[in-house]
Amino acid sequence: MCGIIGHIGTGNALETLLTGLENLEYRGYDSAGIAVQNGSGIAVQKRSGKVDELKNSIGDRHIEGNVGIGHTRWSTHGPPTDENAHPHTDDTADVAVVHNGIIENYADLKSWLRERGHEFTSDTDTEVIPHLIQYYLDAGMANEAAFRRAIDELEGSYAVTAMLDGEHVLYAARQGSPLVVGVEDDEFFLASDVPAFLEYTDTVVYLEDGDVAIVDEDGVEFTDLAGESITREPETVEWDPEQAGKGEYDHFMLKEIYEQPTSLAQAIEGRIDPENGRIALEDFPSGTFEGVGNVQLIACGTSYHAALYGSLALNQAGIRATALLANEYSVTAPPVDDETLVIAVTQSGETADTLNALRQATAAGADTLTVTNVVGSTAAREADDTLFIRAGPEIGVAATKTFSSQAVMLTLLAQRIAADTCGEPPADLTSLLPDLSRMPAQLESMLVTDDAARIADRYRDSQSYFFIGRGLGYPVALEGALKFKEITYEHAEGFASGELKHGPLALVTPNTPVFAVFTGDEDEKTLKNAEEAQTRGAPVIAICPDDHRAVEVADRHIAIPATDSELAGLFANVQLQLVSYHAANQLDRPIDKPRNLAKSVTVE
């Protein structure tokens, strides 16, 4: 989950590396470091803490050179200390390496290298890589051969970028962790993710597992690990560089909440025809899903809540569907047959648990489809089909606009699958699609209110926070609780409304506000469950339209527009995102960089 940046070109690499690290901090912010070829060796500077602390430590230190690598870390092996920060070097400091992933056989390699006189200064698994390269250099191998031989010794997942003293070359390899090359005339970049260098170039080449890239001032050579030449075609990323910045907002999370009218408009553009009640998913011609008998949706975290939303929409459409945690799929996966469609839901397309579950489903013979935000991602390449959510770059660690776009696209996909399997979509598309087409504008109007900020202030000293919902409101309740706990550090739990009286009600006190999501489906039951908490002293906050009966019963109310029941929960979700944001802001939490978390989880 760490962030890698590399640069080679005509200008000084330092500024580019630091900019890239700032752009990548959502991938990890325990420590950061850079290494630059400065003409008299490799200059390394690294520090525990955020990139700003690294910049302060550099100060006026003379670090110049047109070749360099950088890294921002999310700790796996070893705590976040100066010693454990990347880049790591060998004993002679002639080799510098940055790495994302986990080297599973590092203990054996470390022991083997120690027996041969190598001394280690960190607790990380990464440090074995520069030592291995140096070992093979000392054995007489040329630089490229030593790099390949060292990489061949590694077991586990990795994206590795290395540079060796005395040459203007970057070596890179990928197995199970993302790595992308950026190309702009005579400038070349290596990174874990496109936003690292998006302000410099939008032309990218995605490395695949087993690829090696050799980058120098003349260009990039792509080979397999054995050295055989391979072709990797460049692609143009259609993200606006300004989308990767905060602009006028204090936090990326708030910016991305407010971008949801735009991201949803992008998601549905050209894909719905409200006037004729028709869904047009361009990559899925009529009959694509004809043989689908059951659907398994696999995902983690926020994407799992979107997958759960999608599974309920599929069930309502008459399709057997189950949402499963990707990290449990290897243990609890239901049987797969020739009527099974497995849908991997992953914002980045690089989530390790989801990729492993996707590969397991493929090996079992299932048809596969990925719902993702990133063109060229591993999930997009490995699945049989892909549905892109078109949300644009999301930098805040707490996912916001991607959840909304995932849920909307899964709702459309549910109707599309049902149309192929049942002959026609079961939902009244003449109601759903016009409401969906109005959703971006309605969201924009809703976002100008301050209901959520007032509620956050009113209940900010509470002991615990409960979120309840029924049907499609249930995954929204789960997601509301997840957002709240991950950025406020306060205790929050989400429940199916009817489950309150089966245990959680024992925890309810006057200091436990209950946020109740009303979607228009069986709202009387949800209201009754909320009242059960209210009679025990809990304040109830209803998320519903202004004219809903729950407004009369609840202690407080956060308004959403009146809309189709399949969409109401998504308006409620945005309001709950705002409640979480304002509560965290009032508590002075590091909203974009919550402790112990990272944006893209590329290790199991």
Residues annotated as catalytic are 2, 599
Written as one letter, the residue type at 356 is N
Q: Which two tokens stand for residue 319?
A: 């399709």
What does DSSP assign to residue 229? B
Distance of CA 498 to the CA centre of its chain: 31
Written as one letter, the residue type at 72 is T
432, 301 in Cβ contact below 8 A? Answer: no
351, 602 in Cβ contact below 8 A? Answer: yes
Rounded CA separation 170/182 (Å): 13
Q: Which residues, listed in sequence order, are joined to residue 372 by a DSSP beta bridge? A: 346, 388
Distance of CA 220 to the CA centre of its chain: 28
* DSSP E strands, 176-280: 180-184, 187-191, 203-206, 211-216, 219-224, 235-236, 272-273, 278-279
Q: Which residue has the tokens 């009286």?
A: 501
Distance of CA 438 to the CA centre of its chain: 27
Rounded CA separation 297/368 (Å): 10
What does DSSP assign to residue 426? S
466, 508 in Cβ contact below 8 A? Answer: yes
Q: Which residues, listed in sequence order, are joined to residue 222 by a DSSP beta bridge? A: 213
Q: Which two tokens stand for residue 262?
A: 């735009």
Minimal CA–CA distance to 329: which of 294, 305, 302, 364?
364
